[in-house]
Amino acid sequence: MAGLLRELAGILTSKERWKAVFIGTLALAGALAETVGVGAVFPLMALLMDASLANSDARLAMLFRLSGADSVERFVLFGAIGLLAFYAAKNLLLAWLYRLQTRFSAGAEARIGADLLASFLALPFSERLAENSAERLRIITVETGRATAGFLASLMQLVTEGCVIFCLVLLLFVVNPLATGIALLIVAGAGLAFESGMRKRMALHREERIRSSSAMYISASQSLGAFKEIKVLGREAHFVGGFTASSRRYAGATAAFSWAGLLPRLLVETIAVSALLGAVIFGLASDQPMRDIVPALTLFGLALFRIMPSATRVLSALNSLRFNAPSVRIVAAGLRSGATATPHPAPGAPADAQSGQIRQIDLDNVSYRYPGAEGWALRGITLSIRHGELIGLVGRSGSGKTTLTDILLGLLEPQEGAVTVDGVDSNANDACWRGFAGLVSQQFFLLDDSVRRNVAFGIGDAAIDDARVWRALRDARLEARIRALPGGLVAPVGEHGAMLSGGERQRLAIARALYDDPEILVFDEATSALDSATEAEVLETVRGLAGAKTILMISHRPASLACCDRVIVMRDGVIAATGSYAELRGKEAELDESQSGGYAVIGSA
């Protein structure tokens, strides 16, 4: 438990930890107020049963004199009014405490979720390749809530209600130590028996909850991501069946936890009634006068009336702590994974890069192997790229083309060799020209949002320059189509760009890359989804940009390769040949395959 509390403290900020201490202090103050409120009923009931106590009992006699009451009845009246006011103030304090607790838990959940997202985005690109997006989404949306609303809120409830029970039991010990001791032994024995019986059962359901929840998210993500293929192949039943099986296991584990949360109320109620009646039986059996039994019995009744819901919540909180404990560890591990990653700084270093122009990029004997892979994706790549060049990269799937561009973009760090930008060393952490590059990928992501927000990707509305958006759309040969849409720039594109054709989606991705007017452009099979006429328009745009910008184009399309100043043929992670398209055609099988249409889909290496 101590290790788990350290994990919890680790996912809270310093300010949140101090706020938790403050809330704990208020919980103790609330518990003391509850005890005073219950304890004050005892002398009030005693006076109602025997008015002579106002003079015979030293403490009551002193209060009688201080009150200034002219009769015992008036003294009791003052006491009842004062107790009523005290209860109102006490409940206002508790209402404020409960509000602080709920806002604290909800605020922590929102903050931790945002930190987890930032932590995951800070991971190196190579680590992200092995990650499952659905699992990451589940941790952010589900495990964060269980770590806060499930564990943290239950812990605060345990502290609050535990303080109340402790103070009230202490009061009962002062009034009648023997009866309280017997009742406490009964309660402790029943509570331990209940905990022992539920511990193993809850451990099994807890593990099942984590497994089935993860399987549900992965199944749903795959089903929605492959919606078109599922419809064409008629595989709906398979994916629905997989999700249903996981959701049923999840529902079973959750139902078992909910059932276990309802049992404490029945247990506590049984024990409380037994203890109260036992106190009556004990008093009558020991020949105590009824007038002595009634005040004490009233006190015990009020105390048990207040202890019952607290004890129920304590037992429920203990079950919740055990059930949600893994979520704390999962969230803490997620935050730690991102904390070790070094954020990419803003571009800097070369003086010319600062002014928006990069003269030359050099790769010197660069090699890279993906984590867990047996072979090298790149081996001994030596290459110079000059400002304004239009370079084509061609090769079969797995030849290393995309790996090479990922290293140039600073997404991957070479394990051997070096990359220099205008003579300055560059790596994945410095990435001194990352901010000057635009990427048009074969597998691009469109927001289910407006054209405007898709082009000005990741920029707040107030900072978007509509003139730049239109310029980017014009350069991508998409301006006329967008102007014809109802709403223009604010027209929705639909999920994954469903409102646009395949070619229009590709050109929208190109417009996004052009929005920042980058110095370097990387096209990874950017024209693969375009028809010949549209490809010609895009290539006309690319040729117009050549000279002013450095362009790297991964392609298997002859038209795209023919417009390049230089074509580099990649094979098995090395540069097999370099030259113009005209020089290499007929000599390199990769170019002949691209011309004949027998070329594999590129972009996976």
| Residue 380 lies inside a defined structural domain of this protein | no
User: What share of the chain has pLDDT > 70, as a percent?
Assistant: 76
Mean pLDDT, the chain, rounded, equals 76
Question: What pLDDT is stored for residue 302 in this prediction?
Answer: 62
Reported as a single tens digit per residue, the pLDDT across 281-308 is 666 666 656 555 555 566 666 666 667 7
Question: What pLDDT is stored for residue 24 in this prediction?
Answer: 87
| Residue 299 lies inside a defined structural domain of this protein | yes
Q: Which domain holds residue 84?
A: 2-339
Question: What pLDDT is stored for residue 339 in this prediction?
Answer: 58
Res. 182 pLDDT band, cuts 50 70 90: low
| Residue 174 lies inside a defined structural domain of this protein | yes
| Residue 364 lies inside a defined structural domain of this protein | no
Query: 193-202, 447-456, 593-602: lowest mean pLDDT where?
Result: 593-602
Asked if residue 163 lies in contact with residue 27, where contact means CB atoms within 8 angstroms, the answer is yes
| Residue 605 lies inside a defined structural domain of this protein | no
Is this model's pTM higher than 0.85 or not? no
Res. 353 pLDDT band, cuts 50 70 90: very low
CATH number at residue 488: 3.40.50.300
CATH number at residue 217: 1.20.1560.10
How many angstroms from the chain centroid is the CA of residue 465?
A: 31
| Residue 381 lies inside a defined structural domain of this protein | no
Reported as a single tens digit per residue, the pLDDT across 394-408 is 888 888 888 888 888
For the chain, how many structural domains are there in total?
Answer: 2
| Residue 150 lies inside a defined structural domain of this protein | yes
Question: What pLDDT is stored for residue 271 in this prediction?
Answer: 67
User: What share of the chain has pLDDT > 90, as a percent?
Assistant: 3
Shared domain for 318 and 453, answered yes or no, is no
Question: What pLDDT is stored for residue 599 in this prediction?
Answer: 40
Question: What pLDDT is stored for residue 198 in this prediction?
Answer: 67
Question: What pLDDT is stored for residue 232 in this prediction?
Answer: 60
Sheet harboring 360-368: ordered strands across? Answer: 378-386, 360-368, 416-421, 424-426
Which residue has better confidence, 571 or 337? Answer: 571
| Number of other residues whose CB lies within 10 A of the CB of residue 277 | 11
Concatenated DSSP letters of 214-254: HHHHHHHHHHHHTHHHHHHHT-HHHHHHHHHHHHHHHHHHH
Roughly how many angstroms between the first and final C-alpha of the chain, as a whole number? 46
* 126, 127, 129, 135 alpha-carbon torsion, rounded to 10°: -170
Shared domain for 402 and 302, answered yes or no, is no
Q: In degrees rounded to 5, what are phi and psi of residue 12? A: -95, 150
Res. 352 pLDDT band, cuts 50 70 90: very low
- Segment 92-105 mean pLDDT: 87
Reported as a single tens digit per residue, the pLDDT across 4-32 is 788 888 888 888 889 888 988 888 888 88
| Residue 458 lies inside a defined structural domain of this protein | yes
Question: What pLDDT is stored for residue 130 in this prediction?
Answer: 62
Question: What pLDDT is stored for residue 12 in this prediction?
Answer: 86
Question: What pLDDT is stored for residue 131 in this prediction?
Answer: 63
Query: 87-101, 195-209, 591-605: lowest mean pLDDT where?
Result: 591-605
Shared domain for 400 and 307, answered yes or no, is no
CA distances from 439 to 242, 371, 436, 466, 513 (A): 36, 24, 10, 21, 6
Question: What pLDDT is stored for residue 191 in this prediction?
Answer: 67
- Segment 448-459 mean pLDDT: 84
